[in-house]
């Protein structure tokens, strides 16, 4: 699976899953635009990637239309084209619907769903005629709900619906659109979640027991899946999702 001479724009690419995808894409021969809300981390990530490949740091918020327009325009100006879009940027707002504020709901959906819409809106015109690929990072939360995750679950389920619609609307233009649904992945987001719990070690033991493979995932696991879906190896795969969770959901968790 290679992406030689391909240009990719990866959102939320400065840490966690996004960083893993950016690193793997560069290894596979792609030039990568590192689009992240944290300007300092985006610069650091791009500098690291430039030691072995080509990368461009682009600070910005995926929920801001001007920032997205700028990110796509800068990517095309710097690298001359765009072949792959990976919508990864996201975060969690926890709480039941009755406890969430409208601002919290809007911010959750703004980043986790509207951000995907905006990036697709401005990237698709450049993907036409290039056998372009879009990889949307959803979650097992798209179909396995947990108490207190109303806004997050809604955003991740929405990504699956958006993925199917995009595949139908743009398949005739040669653009493939798929999603990945990660389970528990060892990222800073998970570290923060564990740190807020009364007994992180006990929780982690229970999490591991829920995985038939006996471990949680890594950003590299998701990056390999993203590379497959972005590459020619998946040239007849579109409009679907790939669950990457160590058989956790198959086990009923």
Tokens of 149: 């995750």
Q: Coil, helix or strand for 75?
A: helix
Domain ranges (residues) in the chain? 7-185+218-244
CATH architecture, domain 7-185+218-244: 3-Layer(aba) Sandwich (3.40)
Element (DSSP H or E) covering residue 58: strand 54-59
Asked if residue 20 lies in contact with residue 185, where contact means CB atoms within 8 angstroms, the answer is no
pLDDT for 141? 96
* Alpha-carbon span 37 to 60, nearest angstrom: 5
pLDDT in tens, 96-108: 999 999 999 999 9
Q: Is the pTM of this model over 0.95?
A: yes
Q: Using CA atoms in the order 154, 240, 56, 37, what is the torsion angle rounded to 10 degrees?
A: 0
Asked if residue 133 lies in contact with residue 83, where contact means CB atoms within 8 angstroms, the answer is yes
pLDDT for 49? 98
b or e along 9-35 (b: 16 or more beta carbons within 10 Å of the residue's beta carbon)?
bbbbbbbbbbbbbbbbbbebebbbbbb
- In the residue annotation, 146 being an active-site residue is answered as no
pLDDT for 196? 85
- Per-residue pLDDT tens digits of the chain, which is 253 residues long: 899 999 999 999 999 999 999 999 999 999 999 999 999 999 999 999 999 999 999 999 999 999 999 999 999 999 999 999 999 999 999 999 999 999 999 999 999 999 999 999 999 999 999 999 999 999 999 999 989 999 999 999 999 999 999 999 999 999 999 999 999 999 988 888 888 889 999 999 999 999 999 999 999 999 999 999 999 999 999 999 999 999 999 999 8
Which of 122, 149, 152, 184 is catalytic? The answer is: 152
* Alpha-carbon span 129 to 170, nearest angstrom: 11
């Amino acid at each position: 699976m290679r992406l030689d001479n391909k240009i990719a724009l990866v959102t939320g690419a400065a840490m966690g899953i996004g960083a893993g995808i950016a690193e793997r894409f560069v290894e596979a021969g792609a030039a990568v635009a590192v689009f992240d809300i944290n300007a300092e981390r985006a610069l650091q990530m791009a500098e690291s990637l430039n030691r072995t490949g080509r990368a461009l740091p682009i600070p910005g918020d995926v929920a801001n239309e001007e920032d997205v327009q700028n990110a796509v325009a800068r990517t095309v100006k710097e690298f001359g084209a765009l072949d792959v879009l990976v919508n990864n940027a996201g975060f969690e707002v926890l709480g039941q619907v009755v406890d969430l504020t409208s601002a919290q709901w809007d911010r959750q959906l703004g980043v986790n769903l509207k951000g995907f819409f905006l990036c697709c809106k401005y990237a698709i015109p450049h993907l036409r005629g290039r056998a372009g690929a879009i990889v949307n990072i959803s979650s097992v939360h798209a179909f396995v709900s947990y108490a207190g995750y109303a806004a997050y679950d809604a955003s991740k389920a929405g990504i699956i619906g958006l993925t199917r619609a995009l595949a139908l609307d743009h398949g005739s233009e040669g653009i493939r659109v798929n999603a990945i649904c990660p389970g528990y992945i060892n990222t800073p987001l998970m570290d923060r979640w564990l740190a807020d719990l009364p007994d992180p070690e006990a929780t982690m033991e229970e999490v591991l027991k829920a995985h038939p493979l006996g471990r949680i995932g890594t950003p590299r696991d998701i990056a390999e899946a993203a590379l497959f879906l972005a590459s020619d190896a998946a040239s007849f795969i579109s409009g679907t999702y790939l669950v990457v969770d160590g058989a956790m959901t198959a086990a009923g968790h």
